[in-house]
Structure 1
Amino acid sequence: MNFGSIATWRMSHDGIESSLELLKNEGTSNDAIEMIIKHVEDYPYYKSVGYGGLPNIEGILEMDAAFMDGDTFQIGAVAGITDVCHPISVARKLSHEKFNSFLVGQGATKYAMTNGFERKNMLTERARKLWKKRLDDMAKHSLSPYDGHDTIGAISLDKKGSMSAGTSSSGLFMKKPGRVGDSPLSGSGFYVDSDIGGAAATGLGEDLMKGILSYEIVRKMDGGMTPQEACDEAVYSFHDKLTKKYGKCGAMSLVAMNNKGDWGVATNVEFTFSVGNDQNKAAIYIANMGENHTTIIEPITQEWLDAYEKRIKAPID
C-alpha cells in the first residue's frame, strides 16, 4: 500500500524521515503528522516555530497550530497559545472535542495546562536577543518591524489510506499581540480529505487567507488534477489575481499530496520542502516560480545545506 509525507521548509526534513519509518511499520497518518511537527517545535534554531520561535513586538512568544483528520474531518486548533511545549499536540487533542475545538489566547493555554500538557518557557535567550536587536534596528534605521513567517505545514498518508494534516508556527516576527495568520485556519493554512488528498501553506498569512488556497488545491485534485497541476493552477492564478486587485502579493508556498502518495508544490518565492513516500526516501528540494504558471523543482545541494546550517546557528551580534 502507498504511504508518504510532505512538509514545508528544510526544517521539516528530520521529522519527515522519522514519519516515513513510522508509516512503513504500519503507523498512522495522525501519529506521523504529530511526529513531524514536534521535531520542529523542539529544535531551538528554527526561529519561526515552537521552542526558539520569535516573539511578538512585546517580547511574548505566541504560537498557532492546527490538526486535521482526513477520515473524519475532525479539526483542532490553537492560536496565541503561550508556554506550551507542543502546540500541535494540543491541537490534536482538541480535534476530538465536539465543541470548543478551536481555542485562542489564555483559553488555549489554560486548556493545555488543565489537560496535562508540558509547560515550558518557549522563548529562548537566543530568540530574546534577536527580538532586542530588531527593536534596536527599528529605532536606529526606521525599519519595518515585520520579518519572518515560516510555518511548518505537513500532509501524511498511511498504508490504510488515511490522511492527516497539521501546522505549527510562531507567526509573524514582531507581530502585534493577538495577531493570527492563516496557519490555524481550515482551508487556508491546511486542508485534507482522505478520499482525495491534502495541502498545507506557508507564507504571509494575511494574503494566504484571502485565497483559501489549501482547500482550493484539494478541490482541484478532486476534479482530476495531479497535485502538481493543482498547486500550479491554484497558487499562480491567485498570485496574479491578488496582484491585480490588491497591487501586490506576499510570499506564499504550498505543498500537496494525494491519496496515492503523489505530491506537488507551488511558490512565488524561493522555497524548500521535504518529501518522501513508499517509492522514494525522504529528500529536500528547492522550488521557484517558473514561467507560464509552472514550478521549477530541483534537489538541494550540499553547499546550500552547509550554508543553511551556518546561517541559522550564527552568533548574534
Structure 2
Amino acid sequence: MVWGAIATWRMAHDGVVKALDLLERKQHSGDAVEELIKTVEDYPYYKSVGYGGLPNAEGILEMDAAFMDGDSFKIGAVAGITDVSNPISVARKLSDDKFNSFRVGEGATRYAMTEGFHRKNMLTERAHKIWEKRLKEIHENNLNPYNGHDTVGAITLDQMGSMTAGTSSSGLFMKKPGRVGDSPLSGSGFYVDSQIGGATATGLGEDLMKGCLSYEIVRLMGEGLSPQAACDKAVYEFHDKLTARYGKAGAFSLIAMNKAGEWGVATNVEFTFSVGNDKEAPQIFIANMGENHTTKIESITQEWLDAYEKRIKAPIE
C-alpha cells in the first residue's frame, strides 16, 4: 500500500519522520498530520510556529491553524488564538462541528479552554527578546517591521487512501493585532481531496490570498497533471500575473502530494521542505525558482544543516 507525508520548511522534518512512522503502522492520515504539526508547534526555536513563535506589534503571540479531512472535506480552523499549546489540535476538534467550525480571537481561545485544551503562555523569553530588539531597530533605524512568515503546512496520505492537510503559524512577525494570513483559509493556505491529492502554502499571506493557489494545484492534479507540473503551473503563472497587475509578488512556496504518494513543490524564493513515502526515506530538500516556469530541487547539505542549527539557536544580543 502507498503512504506518504510532505511538509514545508526544514523545521518540519522531525515531524515528517514521526508522521511516516505512524503511517507505516497503518495509522490514520489525520493522526499523522496532527502529530507532525504538533512536533513543530512544541519546539521553542522555531520562530514562526507555536511555542517560541514571534509576537505581533503589541508583544502578543496570536496563532492561526487549520485542519482538513480529504475524505469528507471537513474543515476546522482557528485564527488569532492565544495561550494554547497546540492550535492544530483545536482546529482538528473544530472540524467535527458542522457549525462554528472556524473560530477567531477570544472566541477561539475560549473554545479551547472549554474543551479542555492545555493552556500555556506560548511567548518564550527568547521570542520576547527578539521582539524588543526589533522594536529598538525600528525606532533607531526606521526599518520595515515585517519579517518572518514561515507557516508549517503538511499533507499526509495513509494506507487506506485517506488524505489530510494541516497548517499552523504565528503569522507575520510584528503584524498588527488581529491580522490573519492565508494559513487558516481553505483554498488559499491549504486544500485536500483524498480522491486527488492535497496542497499547502507558506509565505506572505496577503499575496497568497490573492491567488487561492492550494485549491488551484489540487484542481490541476484532478485534471491529470502530476504534483510537480501542477505546482509549477499554478505558482509561476500566478507569480507572473501578480507581478504584472500588482507590481510585485511577495514570497510564496507551495507543496503538493497526490493520492499515489507522488509530490511536487514550487517557489519564488529559496525554500526547504521535507518529504517521504513508502518508497523514499524522509529527506530534506532545498528548492529555488528555475528557468521557464520550472523548479530546481536539490538535496540539502550537511553544511547547510549545521549553519541552520547554529542560526536558529544563536544568542539574542
The TM tier, using the shorter chain, reads: over 0.9
Partners in 2 of 1:18 and 1:174 — Cα distance? 32
Q: What's the TM-score once normalised by structure 1's chain length?
A: 1.00
The residue identity in structure 2 corresponding to 1:48 is S
Partners in 2 of 1:21 and 1:91 — Cα distance? 23
Identify the residue that residue 255 of structure 1 maps to in structure 2.
255
Identify the residue that residue 78 of structure 1 maps to in structure 2.
78
Identify the residue that residue 292 of structure 1 maps to in structure 2.
292
Q: CA deviation at 1:305?
A: 0.1
**1:105 aligned onto 2:105:** yes
Q: CA deviation at 1:239?
A: 0.0
Partners in 2 of 1:151 and 1:227 — Cα distance? 20
The residue identity in structure 2 corresponding to 1:140 is E
Q: CA deviation at 1:146?
A: 0.5
**1:241 aligned onto 2:241:** yes
Q: CA deviation at 1:42?
A: 0.1
Q: CA deviation at 1:190?
A: 0.2
Q: What's the TM-score once normalised by structure 2's chain length?
A: 1.00
Q: CA deviation at 1:45?
A: 0.1
Which consecutive unaligned segments of at least 5 residues does structure 2 have? none
Task: Map 1:9-88 onto structure 2 (within 5 A).
Answer: 9-88=9-88
Identity between Structure 1 and Structure 2 (%):
76
Identify the residue that residue 216 of structure 1 maps to in structure 2.
216
Partners in 2 of 1:27 and 1:220 — Cα distance? 28
SS in 1 for 2:84: coil
Identify the residue that residue 134 of structure 1 maps to in structure 2.
134
Partners in 1 of 2:75 and 2:283 — Cα distance? 29
Which consecutive unaligned segments of at least 5 residues does structure 1 have? none
Partners in 1 of 2:209 and 2:193 — Cα distance? 19
Partners in 2 of 1:301 and 1:153 — Cα distance? 23
Partners in 1 of 2:108 and 2:100 — Cα distance? 10
Partners in 2 of 1:244 and 1:72 — Cα distance? 38
Partners in 1 of 2:289 and 2:28 — Cα distance? 33
Q: CA deviation at 1:206?
A: 0.2
Partners in 1 of 2:153 and 2:110 — Cα distance? 25
- Cα deviations across residues 52-97 of structure 1 (Å, max 9, x unaligned)? 0000000000000000000000000000000000000000000000
Identify the residue that residue 156 of structure 1 maps to in structure 2.
156
Partners in 2 of 1:281 and 1:44 — Cα distance? 26
Identify the residue that residue 4 of structure 1 maps to in structure 2.
4
SS in 1 for 2:106: helix
